[in-house]
Amino acid sequence: MKEIRILWLYSDMMDLYGDRGNIMALEYQLELLKVPYTVTEKSLTDELSFSEYDLIYIGPGKDKNAVMAATHLRGYGEEIRKAVEEGKVFLITGNAQILFGSEIEDADGTITSAVGLFDYKAKLTGEVFLDDFTAKPVFNKQTEIYGLINRTSYLIGDIENPLFEVSYSQKDIGKTEGILYKNFFGTWALGPLLAKNPQILLEILQRLLDVKIIGIDDGLQNIALQKTLGEFPQPQ
């Protein structure tokens, strides 16, 4: 079996809210599946080559760090677009999503160009927005996920390919959430996403390995997820 190569970008500056747990969840299941893998960490001073990797991960960070990351990453816009179109798996959580829009506007009006993979723009407010939500993944609407939103920025513009259909939120976050374009997964959901939602982890593993996986070791995660979901109104 071929080795799965994971690129963890900006782990030194985009790693809030325990979202390194997404990498840990992937590592745990790959080991159980006896799939060889490597995780390579790169940041602002490194040259990047996306063709070398099977999965690219970026987690949430302070907005000022996200702007620095966008300035670095935008130079690889065409290579990123090619990687996405070729089906490379991207997992982008929290405000790392702002890197992939057209531009980022700071609270003082300063505009920074971003990667430009998608048409949306990002606005940094400096004001904390907190919310819990539950939602159905578009690839498996028989299941429900939980996400925590903790952000000081938001996206402006329509998302043509959402990742989730929102079932419940304490505040108005809209009817859909996230991005799913080919194998590009983007979401505000923290938690971390893959540790709290084993069905998302399974979907990413299946796309990453290009095989149908009959069950993963997710018993405890499912128990925890159902307990969490039980604290919120259930969809009709």
- Mean pLDDT across 150-167: 96
Does residue 234 surpass a pLDDT of 90? no
Two structure tokens written together for 26: 């992937």
* Domain residue spans of the chain: 4-229
- Per-residue pLDDT tens digits for 53-103: 999 999 999 999 999 999 999 999 999 999 999 999 999 999 999 999 999
- Mean pLDDT across 119-144: 97
Question: Alpha helix locations (H) across 74-157?
Answer: 77-85
Residue 227: partners with Cβ closer than 8 Å, 6 or more residues away: none
CATH fold for domain 4-229: Rossmann fold (3.40.50)
**Sheet of strand 184-187: strand arrangement:** 37-42, 4-9, 55-58, 89-93, 184-187, 179-181
- Mean pLDDT across 139-163: 96
How far apart are the C-alpha atoms of 160 and 53, rounded to whole Å?
26
CA dihedral sign of residues 117, 123, 126, 132 = negative
Which is higher by pLDDT, 221 or 34?
34
What is the predicted pLDDT for the residue at 74? Answer: 98
- Mean pLDDT across 141-146: 96
Q: Give me the chain's average pLDDT, please.
A: 95
DSSP state of 190: B
- Per-residue pLDDT tens digits for 7-60: 999 999 999 988 999 999 999 999 999 999 999 999 999 999 999 999 999 999
How far apart are the C-alpha atoms of 124 and 101, rounded to whole Å?
13
Nearest to 122 by CA among 92, 84, 78: 92
What is the predicted pLDDT for the residue at 2? Answer: 87
